[in-house]
Amino acid sequence: MTPIRRKPGRLDRLRRWTLGGLVGAIGLHLWAWYGLGWQGIGKLSFSGLASLLVGHLNAAALFCLVLGVALVFTGRLFCGWACKLSAFQELAEGVYRRVGFRPRFVHTRARAIRLFIFVPYFLPVLYTWNEVGLSTAYADLGAVQPWTADLPRTVLATVFYFASITFVLTAAFGRRAFCRLVCPFALFFQLFERLPWLPRVRQVGRCIDCDVCERACPMGISVPNEIQRAGEVLDPECIRCMVCVDVCPVKALRFGLPGSAFPIQRPDLAPVVRESAFSPLFDASLATLAVIGGVWAATQISGFHVFLGASWGLIAGLLGRSAFVAWRGKEAGCST
């Protein structure tokens, strides 16, 4: 399905400004830490979970607390509006749009590796709890340098890291490839998606089946199918970016709380199954390469690099496949 060219709508503009502000805040944080020496500023990180569990309130623990509340009341809104990797992926998409490159949207069953990626994240935490006990298992993250705790050690390595998991991965697998195929938090956040009080994209008018929303959706969700058969987008991959709300030409969509009872348009529709672009065998090979890459990077460099290794595993698999297809094509051409 061809993605549509469009100008960002009101909500999308607001979201882009929010993401831009977030990247600016990260830049300011690094500048304050390294330029001004304000190390008491603390840091924000998912690692604050351990501190939170033992009641040690540092900046990272506060971040996890706010995120937890946000997940319970807004679902994956965080992914669309407040994640730095979201911002970098959209930057990549914007650059590609400007140069006229439209990466193909590729679905693959290898997205199951997101489950595996939890392991390098949580094993050290479990190990620490086992070794030193829960009561002391927190890191005083206010005293941990951002560059050594969350980022690769040099500026060049950091640029390579983020460019790989956003620009290169997007070029290979399409929009939001990192969220769809690698990010383990996406899977964890999906656990909250069934909460009945969450605000969602809901149908408020008749859908004319033009597919504009589906082509604009960065997560590849079949929006018309979702709203026509359920009256709302229930797919747990929805990151509440609200792009679909902005683009609908007949204003059939709204983002809001449960309650707007527009009659279900097509109760007979079956849910759309996300088809993989590849055979099960190739999907398994992709997943294996990603796991090998992830384990290698996590054990050789650091746990945080599991994202980098898994991304390059996926990219290498796709490149290998393209090379094989090209070679087969050439062989066939020679033999005819």
Q: Does 292 bind ligand SF4 (CB under 6 A)?
A: no
Binders in 143-202 for ligand SF4, by CB under 6 A: 201
Region binding ligand SF4 by CB under 6 A among candidate stretches 42-50, 89-97, 216-224, 321-329: 216-224
DSSP lists the bridge partners of residue 232 as 202
Q: CB 264 → ligand SF4: shortest distance, Å?
A: 14
For ligand SF4, which residue of 191, 208, 261, 326 counts as binding (CB under 6 A)?
A: 208
Yes or no: say if 282 and 228 are a contact pair by the CB < 8 Å rule: no
Q: Minimal CA–CA distance to 59: which of 2, 130, 139?
A: 139
Cβ-count burial 134-162 (b if 16+ within 10 Å, e if not): eeebbbebeebebbebbbbeeeeeeeebb
For ligand SF4, which residue of 233, 290, 308, 310 counts as binding (CB under 6 A)?
A: 233
| Closer Cβ to ligand SF4, 65 or 264, answer by number | 264
The region that residue 139 occupies, defined by phi over 0 for left and psi between -120 and 50 for alpha, beta otherwise, is: beta
Q: Does 87 bind ligand SF4 (CB under 6 A)?
A: no
Q: Which residue type does 298 have?
A: A
Task: Give start and end residues of each alpha helix (H) in the chain.
Answer: 10-30, 48-53, 59-74, 77-81, 84-98, 113-116, 118-132, 146-149, 155-162, 169-173, 177, 184-190, 212-216, 223-230, 243-247, 280-300, 306-335
Q: Does 71 bind ligand SF4 (CB under 6 A)?
A: no
Q: Does 141 bind ligand SF4 (CB under 6 A)?
A: no
For ligand SF4, which residue of 49, 87, 198, 241 counts as binding (CB under 6 A)?
A: 241
Number of residues counted as binding ligand SF4 (CB under 6 A)? 26
Q: CB 16 → ligand SF4: shortest distance, Å?
A: 13
Q: Does 52 bind ligand SF4 (CB under 6 A)?
A: no
For ligand SF4, which residue of 141, 221, 314, 315 counts as binding (CB under 6 A)?
A: 221
| Closer Cβ to ligand SF4, 106 or 244, answer by number | 244
For ligand SF4, which residue of 252, 287, 289, 314 counts as binding (CB under 6 A)?
A: 252
Q: Does 231 bind ligand SF4 (CB under 6 A)?
A: no
Q: Does 257 bind ligand SF4 (CB under 6 A)?
A: no
232 by DSSP, 3-state: which? strand
- DSSP 8-class letter at 256: E
Tokens of residue 110, six digits:
């290898």
For ligand SF4, which residue of 219, 230, 291, 315 counts as binding (CB under 6 A)?
A: 219
CA 42/CA 30 separation, integer angstroms:
11
Q: Does 223 bind ligand SF4 (CB under 6 A)?
A: yes
- DSSP 8-class letter at 167: I
Q: Does 204 bind ligand SF4 (CB under 6 A)?
A: no
Region binding ligand SF4 by CB under 6 A among candidate stretches 40-48, 247-255, 284-292, 306-314: 247-255
| Closer Cβ to ligand SF4, 56 or 215, answer by number | 215
Region binding ligand SF4 by CB under 6 A among candidate stretches 19-27, 183-191, 242-250, 267-275: 242-250
Q: H or E element: which one contains 163?
A: none
261's CB contacts (< 8 A; 6+ apart) are 231
Q: Does 85 bind ligand SF4 (CB under 6 A)?
A: no
Q: What is the DSSP string of 268-328?
A: TPPPPP---SS-HHHHHHHHHHHHHHHHHHHHHT-GGGHHHHHHHHHHHHHHHHHHHHHHH
Q: Does 113 bind ligand SF4 (CB under 6 A)?
A: no
Q: What is the contact surface with ligand SF4 in residues (CB under 6 A)?
A: 201, 207-213, 217, 219, 221, 223-224, 227, 233, 238-244, 248, 250, 252-253
